[in-house]
Structure 1
Amino acid sequence: MLNALEVFTTVSVGVMVGVEFSVAFVINRILAALPDDSCQLGRAHGGRMLGAVMPVWYVSSLVLTALWAIAGWHRPGTGLVVTAAGLLVVSVVMSVLLLVPINNRSKTWTPENRPADWKEQGNRWDRYHYARVAVLVAAFAVLVSALV
């Protein structure tokens, strides 16, 4: 049973990292190449769609990692799993304190009501997101290390 939890957790976190990596280095670059109205509308739609899904995914990944640490407490690699859980906590805190406030504003914007600094706010979100992706990649790498 623990092996199934380890695999399911690792895959869940890995796919989440892939989605967030894709947002940072593929989707946002595609959107940035579009005209301003299309770029802003695409980011707002992405903020609504992923803003609804990602909180559940982040929390469930953290819970799965914590369950893995508890279930395998006396097994080798548990310290790595606890480290990964700590990194996932950091990613959740970063999300709540830094990224969610910007996302909550930007997901309601349209070309008619967006603020003059919408690009600057988007760039700030992107910088925070790059840092969060680095934390998530580290968490995933540590989880994979715990498997071997």
Structure 2
Amino acid sequence: MQFIPLQTIVLIVAGLMVGNELAVSGFVHPQLSQLGDKCHAASTKALALTYGRIMPFWYALTLVLTIAIAFILQQNRTALLFAAIAAIVWSLLIIFTIVILVPINNQIGQMNLEKLPDDWKDLRTRWDRLHAIRVGFLVIALICLTVACQLSTSC
């Protein structure tokens, strides 16, 4: 049985999320780091607070939709395997984000812009490095999800 509309929705939701995270890692934060300290800190603080409100829902929605695709594809073992890998990677990334990146993000979001902590740039660099690792795994999850959806429509 084919569920093309659901597959389309999950690929759009996941693709936009991964693209957003890739843009943050590859374009937004590298440009912000070129700004003066006050502007850089203010920008990253604003982004940390905004993304801190939006991304939990986006990640959760992507995971739920990926699990739904895995459930639907259980008749096609190869497609199910790729969907399951995607769901596992997304689950692990959510845990990684909550345990490692959210605390850093919270520190950035709570910075006093009038008196920046001495280590604020180190904090930003650490977050960017860890975020780049997350983006790599997000791309892997998206590839697995795309393969799963493609396999299900070709069988």
Name 1:81's counterpart in structure 2.
83
Deviation digits for residues 14-33 of structure 1 (CA, Å, limit 9, x no counterpart): 10000000000100011111
Report the 3-state secondary structure (helix = DSSP H, G, I; strand = E; otherwise coil) of the residue aligned with 1:27. Answer: helix
Name 1:108's counterpart in structure 2.
110
Offset at residue 94 of structure 1 (A): 1.1
In 2, the alpha carbon distance for the partners of 1:13 and 1:138 equals 12
Name 2:10's counterpart in structure 1.
9
- Please identify runs of 4+ aligned residues in structure 1 that moved more than 3 A: none
In 2, the alpha carbon distance for the partners of 1:21 and 1:122 equals 16
Report the 3-state secondary structure (helix = DSSP H, G, I; strand = E; otherwise coil) of the residue aligned with 1:77. Answer: helix
In 2, the alpha carbon distance for the partners of 1:126 and 1:3 equals 36
Report the 3-state secondary structure (helix = DSSP H, G, I; strand = E; otherwise coil) of the residue aligned with 1:73. Answer: helix
Gaps of 5+ in 2: 151-155
In 1, the alpha carbon distance for the partners of 2:142 and 2:124 equals 26
Deviation digits for residues 58-102 of structure 1 (CA, Å, limit 9, x no counterpart): 011000000111122112511100000011011101100110000
Report the 3-state secondary structure (helix = DSSP H, G, I; strand = E; otherwise coil) of the residue aligned with 2:117. Answer: coil
Name 2:40's counterpart in structure 1.
39
Identity %: 30
Deviation digits for residues 21-65 of structure 1 (CA, Å, limit 9, x no counterpart): 000010001111110100010000000111110010001100000
In 1, the alpha carbon distance for the partners of 2:144 and 2:45 equals 33
The partner residue of 1:126 within 109, 128, 139 is: 128
Q: How does the TM-score come out when normalised to structure 1? A: 0.96
Q: How does the TM-score come out when normalised to structure 2? A: 0.91
For 1:138, the aligned partner's letter is: I
Deviation digits for residues 92-141 of structure 1 (CA, Å, limit 9, x no counterpart): 01100110000011112132243110000111111110010001000001
Give aligned pairs, total.
148
In 1, the alpha carbon distance for the partners of 2:109 and 2:126 equals 15
For 1:115, the aligned partner's letter is: P
Residue pairs, 1:39-58, within 5 angstroms? 39-58=40-59
Name 1:24's counterpart in structure 2.
25
Name 2:149's counterpart in structure 1.
147
